[in-house]
Structure 1
Amino acid sequence: MQISLKPRMAWPMFGALVTATLSTQVMAAGQTELGISYSSIEYVEPGVMREEGNLFGFQGRFTNYGSTFVALEVDYAFGDMDYEGSGTLQDIPNNLFEMRALFGPRLYQSTRSQLHAYAGIGQRYLSDDSSGMKTSTRTTGYTREQYYWYIPVGLNWQRSLASGWEVALRAEYDYFIAGRNYSGIDEVCGGSSGVFTQEGGKGYRFALKFTMPVSDGGGSLAIEPYYRYWDIGDSDTDYISTPRCTGPGYGYYYEPQNTSEEAGIGIRWVF
């Protein structure tokens, strides 16, 4: 069994459509931010395995602070993770891609401050590729891919300071819609790969952004520490062919409950 191309393509295309639809409004009346990020991430399946490592990435932001808050956010990060479970394994290549579209009303405004509520749609994709690698106990790794689709709901507070600096604080709850996991078990066990669906979970994220002017032409630099957390429940169970790993040639498999914590910092140039 191979993972269907339809769900893997439909959501990225939907996200691209949202981005294309809103970007004209955002860029016309808002600000653009482009920059880099660095983060530390830990992924845990309690009682099963743990991975941790550091990611380097690129960030893009298009934001309009008006009577209606509109934001488009794209993050891409990559790095190596260290595994601990069936033995240990270092330097597993990982890629993390996330795309979000947010919008909502202004709840409060004063001379220097404003507060917006927002909701939107988000997609998160993670690949973890240990195919061909072996742990310290000679366990063979394989390809894993995760897709999350979720609804972010949060508050964004922004304040202009007399020095020309701006500070913004964001707190968010992520309502998990669904997840889809691809596991290349066939690379180790023969037979079929695994495709598992997850329906239960939640996430949180917090960010504190400082923006300071750095040129007479209006350019600014944004520095944003952030924290992101996911807690995802057990997936459905799939009965798949694994002739090299199970006596009868088939076995029951699922994606276990897991958590993911990421703490990092983004540094972006504001146009």
Structure 2
Amino acid sequence: MKEKGIMNGGFGSWTGYFTEHDIMVGVEAEGVVGSLEYDGQRSDGSTVKCDNDDYFVSARAIAGKGFDFGDFGLTPYAGIAARYWYDDIKTTGGYEREITQFYVPIGLNVIANMDDNWSIGGTLEGDLFLGGEVKSKLSQAGSGYEDATNTQEFMKGGGARFSMFLEYDLDYCSLGLEPYFRYWQFAESQTDTVLYGGSLANVVEPKNKFYMSGIRLYVKF
């Protein structure tokens, strides 16, 4: 199966700097919501195409060490993060899915100050997967089905993100534009034995990939 579509949302973040030791700490929360196009099939092989209701939220806390080279700065960082995806397949035999995952982001922030209050920069990050859980409410598909919970194991997945930004300083605040790209992949989960179509069966969350690209518009104080 494949799901694709456009989602909209917002984010907020706070960053603090301890100048004595050039230490950076930051927290961020993000949420997007929308309708995705589902293209897949049922267990009997029949085709399913429908619109899903989805929302995606994530949160992170990071810390890093800044290195100042005049108008150019580097900040390597690491932290802890979580992501949650709610997916409601809106068709006959459809059901809700909830995916919760934890990971360690390890990355590098780059910034270069230019003339006339402009600055550019970007982020390159790799994500170490700690583990996760996929809850599939199969009982909503009809009688003879039970809900399944599949565990995703440590290091059986990973991700990466890349972004660039262009920012203008207005003295009292800064305005920014940030295109970004994110990627995740996960191996097949552990099995859960549940009632499936009236008989016991081993259910798994299959190997899968996740792509997300977008543009952030932000105001920084």
User: TM-score if structure 1 supplies the norm length?
Assistant: 0.74
Question: Which residue of structure 1 aligns with residue 218 of structure 2?
Answer: 268
The one-letter amino acid of 1:176's match is: F
* 8 Å CA contact 1:82, 1:88 repeated in 2: no
Which SS does the other structure have where 2:140 is aligned? helix
Which of these residues, 17, 30, 36, is aligned with residue 81 of structure 1? 36
Instruction: Tell me which stretches of 4 or more aligned residues in structure 1 moved more than 6 Å.
Output: none
2:44 paired residue number:
none
- Partner of 1:193 in structure 2? 147
| Alignment-mate amino acid for residue 222 of structure 1 | G
User: How many angstroms apart in 1 are the aligned matches of 2:5 and 2:48?
Assistant: 13
CA distance in 1, matches of 2:132, 2:191: 14
Change (3 A) 1:151 1:143: same
**TM value normalised by structure 2:** 0.90
Aligned position for 1:148: 101
Tell me how far 1:187 sits from its aligned partner: 1.1
In the alignment of these two chains, the number of paired residues is 210
* 2:89 aligned partner: 130
**Amino acid of the residue matched to residue 89 of structure 2?**
S
Match of 2:168 among 196, 212, 228: 212
* Structure whose residues are more often helix by fraction: 1
SS at match of 1:224: strand
Distance of 1:196 and 1:90 partners within structure 2: 24
The structure-2 alpha-carbon separation of the partners of 1:234 and 1:142, relative to structure 1 and needing over 3 Å to count, comes to same
Aligned partner (choices 253, 256, 260) of residue 203 of structure 2: 253
Q: Secondary structure at the match of 2:161?
A: strand
* Alignment equivalent of 2:5, drawn from 34, 48, 53: 53
Q: CA RMSD in A?
A: 1.4
Distance in 2 (alpha carbons) for counterparts of 1:201 and 1:189: 32
Deviations 1:136-194 (Å, cap 9, x if unpaired)?
Answer: xxxx1100111110000011111111221121211000000001000011111434200
- CA distance in 1 between counterparts of 2:40 and 2:123 reads 35
1:68 aligns with 2:10: no
Query: Greater strand percent: which structure?
Result: 2
* Higher RCO (CA-CA < 8 Å; seq separation 6+): 1
Report if aligned partners of 1:145, 1:181 keep a CA contact under 8 Å in 2.
Answer: yes
The Cα shift of 1:64 comes to 3.0
- AA aligned to 1:93 is D
Cα distance in 2, alignment partners of residues 220 and 96 from structure 1: 27
Select the residue among 237, 246, 260 that pairs with 2:191. 237
The AA in structure 2 aligned to 1:264 is G
Residues 91-118 of structure 1, C-alpha deviations (whole Å, 9 max, x = no match): 2110000001111112x31221111110
Name the CA distance, whole Å, in 2 between partners of 1:182 and 1:211: 40
Structure 2 unaligned regions, length at least 5: 42-46
Which has the higher mean CA deviation after the structures are superposed, 198-207 or 86-95?
86-95
**Offset of residue 220 of structure 1:** 1.5
- Mark the runs of 5 or more structure 1 residues left unpaired by the alignment: 1-48, 135-139
| Cα pair 2:122 2:165 within 8 Å, conserved | yes
Q: Kindly state the Cα deviation for residue 89 of structure 1 after the two structures are TM-superposed.
A: 2.5
Identity %: 30
